[in-house]
Each structure stands twice: as structure tokens, then as C-alpha cells.
Amino acid sequence: MIEIDGLTVRLGDRPPVLRRVSLSVAPGERVGLTGAPGAGKSLTALAVMGLLPGDARTSGRVLVGGRVLVGGHVLGGPRDVLGMRERELARLRGDRVAMVSQEPMNGLDPKLRVGRQVMLAVRQHRGLSRAEARTRTAALLRRVEVGPDVSGAYPRDLPQWQRQRVALALALARDPATLICDEPATTRDAGVLELIDWLVTERRTGLLLISRDEDVVARMCGRVVELRGGRVVRDGPLTEALEGAMERPDPDAG
């Protein structure tokens, strides 16, 4: 569902921040993306979302596919997001791939009550009537365990862990094929990993989980990709990766 192929990203005149990065997330697969601060994890996620800074120069491919339906039929073949127009990107985001970021506002609109934001996303995706969308919105907010009581709140009124859960509901409202979670475990929300685990399992959603903490990746994912200095230095099944069997030499070493 996500296939990044030889992605190089330059910002300004500095050396590339991503260098020939290749990684994939198959339908329903869970992949952990790890590495030290500044390794390029968030930029990789932003590239998939088509949200790189405006001055970014890129080469390579970032293919994002749609949901695989029962019987193997794919709803939406893979599309390269690099160079895609904003209007197409907007359609792709939410349906094919959605992200819960680590920013304080987490992509929420500060001017809209949170229930309304989730409801707009639900309606956009499914073309439901107002009453049906309201029911589904309440169910989603209940599912992320903040409950429909927060519906009337503005994002700024909620603690960060609740904002993250609302962002999760918003991300799932359009039933994306793949969910990207950037450092979800940093909001001191003890249950959020378990919640993400349930949600992607029940919906058969692919997961790209970004975390510096390998224990978090090990708990959640079957495969790990490690970035160092903008390069992939490791990619393999988690058991082998943890034992170092799949380690590649660091190209920057020596």
C-alpha cells in the first residue's frame, strides 16, 4: 500500500535529509520506523502524505495505494504522490493514507468543535445523511475512548492525549488503507498503543509506526526499518532485526 523507492529529499542548499530511502508497507502490514532524533523519520512520513515543505526537491518514487477489498480487488491502484497536485493529494489523504502527527494540534482545525470535524470527515468519505454521520461520529469517539461528551469542545480545550485520540478518530473516519502514527507514545497516554493495536487489527489497516523507542516498535510491529542520517541502515523482520541479523553496515561509518 505504501512503496517508497529511492527517495532523496533536499531542503535548501543543505546535503540531502533523505538519501535513497526505500521502504514498503504491504496491505495490513505493520512496519516500525525507528532511528535517532533528526534521522529523517518524520520527513519520510510527510513525503508519503505529500506534505513536504514547499522548497523540498525530491527524486525517487512514493507510491501510495488504496484498500484491498475481499477477493484481492484493489480499490485504487498505486499512485506516485511526488509531483501530485494539491487537489489529488487531498483526495488521497484520508482515503488511502492518514497520519496522526506529534504536533500539539495534531492536524485539528482550532476553529471547529471536535465532533464537527470528525463528522465532516465521516460525511466526506461515505456520503452519509446527517443523522447517520452523527451516529457514526459518536461511535468513533467512543471507540477511541474519549466519548461523545468531548464533541462540543474545541481542540485547545482538550489535554494533548485526548487531542491525539480525537486525531486518531479523525484519521480513521475515512477508513484509510494505511495509518501513519508519529511518536504516539509520547503523550503520556498509557493505553494509546493498545488502542491503535485494536483499531488497525479490526479494520485490517496497514500501520507505519514511527518511534525512537524500539520497545514500542517491538510491541506493535512485525518489521522494523531504521534510518540513520537520512539513510535506511536496517530493514527486516523484527525478531531477526532485534538480533542484528538483518543489520546493514552504516554507510556513513568510517
Contacts to ligand ATP by CB under 6 A: 11, 17, 35, 37-43, 53, 212
The answer to whether residues 121 and 170 touch, using CB atoms and an 8 Å cutoff, is: yes
CB closer to ligand ATP out of 67 and 231: 231
CB closer to ligand ATP out of 128 and 218: 218
Nearest approach, Cβ of residue 40 and ligand ATP (Å):
4
The answer to whether residues 174 and 98 touch, using CB atoms and an 8 Å cutoff, is: yes
Q: Cell for 88?
A: 489529488
CB closer to ligand ATP out of 64 and 210: 210
Distance between CA atoms of 17 and 253, rounded to whole angstroms?
17
CB closer to ligand ATP out of 35 and 155: 35
The residue written with cell numbers 538483518 in the block is: 246
Distance between CA atoms of 178 and 33, rounded to whole angstroms?
14
CB closer to ligand ATP out of 17 and 64: 17
Nearest approach, Cβ of residue 93 and ligand ATP (Å):
19
Nearest approach, Cβ of residue 55 and ligand ATP (Å):
8
Distance between CA atoms of 120 and 221, rounded to whole angstroms?
31
How many CB atoms lie under 10 A from the CB of residue 191? 11
Nearest approach, Cβ of residue 226 and ligand ATP (Å):
10
- Give the number of C-alpha atoms closer than 13 A to the C-alpha of residue 62, restricted to the C-beta side: 26
Nearest approach, Cβ of residue 126 and ligand ATP (Å):
33
Give the closest residue to 62 by CA, choosing from 97, 28, 95, 11: 97
